[in-house]
Amino acid sequence: MKQFISIKEKRVAAIVLFVVLAGIGLNQLWHEKEYAQLGKNMASLYQDRLMPSGYLFEISDHLYQKKILHMNEAVSTEELTAQLQKHDIAVMRLIDAYEKTYLTKDEQQHWKALLTSLAAYKTAEQNWRAGSNTFAYEQLLDKHFRQAQAALNNLNDVQAREGSVLQHNSKAIINHTVIQSYLQIAMLVIIAVIAAILLLARDNPFFPAERKAALN
């Protein structure tokens, strides 16, 4: 009885099956790697971008609250000292929290500028409270306040830029995984077609000779 599929063709089919199965395995490994990277991007977007943006906003708010206290002549010295200390402690906690996040090189430069401005602002504030040359130190307070706000704005720009990069990369990963899913489906279809051809062949090993004779 004439065979529908020769041994040579079976070898070719086996090789094709092996290549397709290897492709599915590699595709799955790459798929898992990209999903892991997507998870890291999402975590970084929250921990290293959204949370630090909140820290920067709170630092700015405390600076404005201190500025309002400086202009309020009705506040007693004791209350002023207590309120300023309260804001200083809150700012230090925010600084500690911010420094635990991932900082890019550009971000590190703006962060150093902010810390320098805050330190200079603190010194000017102490001299202003001491009552020596009040007007001059008021000018310094305003100068370092504006410098601190400029550094905060630069840091917020970095947060927005880096967040946009993470978002773009995450979208790219999602698009790649969709393509990989379609590719994997196509490979499974190829396997199904090859398996069907082999199973339907009159000389395939899954049909005993007696059964094939009966079928004929």
- The secondary structure of 37-106 as a DSSP string is HHHHHHHHIIIIIIHHHHHHHHHHHHHHHHHHHHH-TTS-HHHHHHHHHHHHHHHHHHHHHHHTS---HH
pLDDT tens by residue, 14-70? 677 777 777 777 777 777 777 677 667 666 667 778 888 899 999 999 999 999 988
pLDDT of residue 191: 77
Handedness of CA 70, 73, 74, 80 (dihedral sign): positive
Contacts of 181 (CB under 8 A, 6+ apart): 31
Residue, of 197 and 115, whose pLDDT is higher? 115
pLDDT tens by residue, 43-54? 666 777 888 889
- pLDDT exceeds 70 at position 203: no
* Tokens (6 digits) for 16: 């094709």
> CB atoms < 10 A from the CB of 123, how many?
14
- Among 68-82, 123-137, 156-170, the range scoring the smallest mean pLDDT is 123-137
Return the closest-CA partner of residue 156 out of 46, 43, 54, 61.
Answer: 54
| CB 155 within 8 Å of CB 9 | no
- pLDDT exceeds 90 at position 186: no
pLDDT tens by residue, 75-129? 888 898 899 999 999 999 999 999 998 888 999 999 999 999 999 999 888 888 7
pLDDT band at 214 (very low <50, low <70, confident <90, very high): very low
Radius of gyration in angstroms for the set of CA atoms belonging to the chain, rounded to a whole number: 34
Which residue reads 């993470």 in tokens? Answer: 166
pLDDT of residue 200: 66
Q: pTM for this one? A: 0.66
User: What is the fold of 7-215?
Assistant: f41 fragment of flagellin, N-terminal domain (1.20.1330)
Return the axis-axis angle of helices 51-71 and 77-99, rounded to nearest 10°: 160
